[in-house]
Amino acid sequence: KNQVEQSPQSLIILEGKNCTLQCNYTVSPFSNLRWYKQDTGRGPVSLTIMTFSENTKSNGRYTATLDADTKQSSLHITASQLSDSASYICVVSFNAGNNRKLIWGLGTSLAVNP
Amino acid sequence: GAVVSQHPSWVICKSGTSVKIECRSLDFQATTMFWYRQFPKQSLMLMATSNEGSKATYEQGVEKDKFLINHASLTLSTLTVTSAHPEDSSFYICSAPGQPPLNLAKNIQYFGAGTRLSVL
């Protein structure tokens, strides 16, 4: 069964600290993995997208890693800011016949406190 | 960058009425758009894929007669929730994949800001 599991479910950190969010998946055949940031009541915003051959990709203070062998990904946030408070969602894309499907994780709710 | 505009952002309606939600790609053409629904503290759930000039493709369990989708042009898709009931109250989000020739990353989904529907 194609699944995407994220941990932790929620996380509270102090401003300026670093944190790492985890994403494990059992999706096949794998196409790509994306991390989105979703502010409360808003649509998701793409942070990174990684294909099978990519191990690391950065976007400012966000760094995503992908281990396609163990089917694990992480999103590392450096020097957190109050505006980083949001839900971070891991999405894995796979090919289903002629279509490409997305499997969404439930997200990690991050709260950055002053 | 690419912008997907969704309107309205929030709507309150009486039970039994119909509500139309618009999704527009503002600076690129979208032959395909996706409609999602998100309940509180849950992940986005794909409802249907909207295809310009043809019928939408609905995910299993989504009633096509209740959630009418029209993709009349390359920049506009609409979702109509017919005879809305309180259980239809949710956050509805549309997205469109980036397409050339605007050098948009083809794999990137651009999301609207969402529409919060409250059915009384």
pLDDT at B99: 59
Q: What are phi and psi of B58, to 5 degrees?
A: -100, 145
Q: Give the residue on B whose Cα is nearest the Cα of A100.
A: B107
CB contact under 8 A, B44 and A89: yes
Residue A96 has pLDDT above 80, yes or no: no
pLDDT at B30: 87
- Using an 8 Å CB-CB cutoff, list chain B residues near A105: 43
**Alpha-carbon span B3 to B28, nearest angstrom:** 8
pLDDT at A93: 86
pLDDT at A52: 85
CB contact under 8 A, B113 and A43: yes
Give the tokens for residue A20: 């790492």
**Alpha-carbon span B118 to B115, nearest angstrom:** 10
The amino acid that residue A22 corresponds to is Q
- Tell me if B46 sits within 8 A of B56, measured CB to CB: no
CB atoms under 10 Å from CB of A66, counted, come to 24
**Residue of A9, A38, A59, A99 best to disrupt the B interface, most CBs of B under 10 A:** A38
pLDDT at B103: 46
Q: Give the residue on A whose Cα is nearest the Cα of B109.
A: A46
State pLDDT tens for residues B18-58. Answer: 999 999 998 888 888 999 999 887 888 889 999 888 889 99
CA distances from A64 to A67, A89, B104 (A): 10, 12, 21
Distance of CA B28 to the CA centre of its chain: 17
Q: Which residues contact A20 (CB under 8 A, 6 or more apart)?
A: A74, A75, A76, A77
User: Residue B111 is nearest to which of A43, A104, A106, comparing CB atoms?
Assistant: A43
Distance of CA A95 to the CA centre of its chain: 19
- Kindly write down the DSSP assignment for every residue of A17-86, as one continuous string: --EEEEEEEE-SSEEEEEEEEE-TTS--EEEEEEETT--EEEETTEEEEEETTTTEEEEEE-S--GGG-E
Average pLDDT over residues A41-57: 89
CB contact under 8 A, A45 and B111: yes
Chain A residues within 8 Å of chain B (Cβ atoms): 32, 34, 41-46, 49, 89, 93, 101-102, 104-107
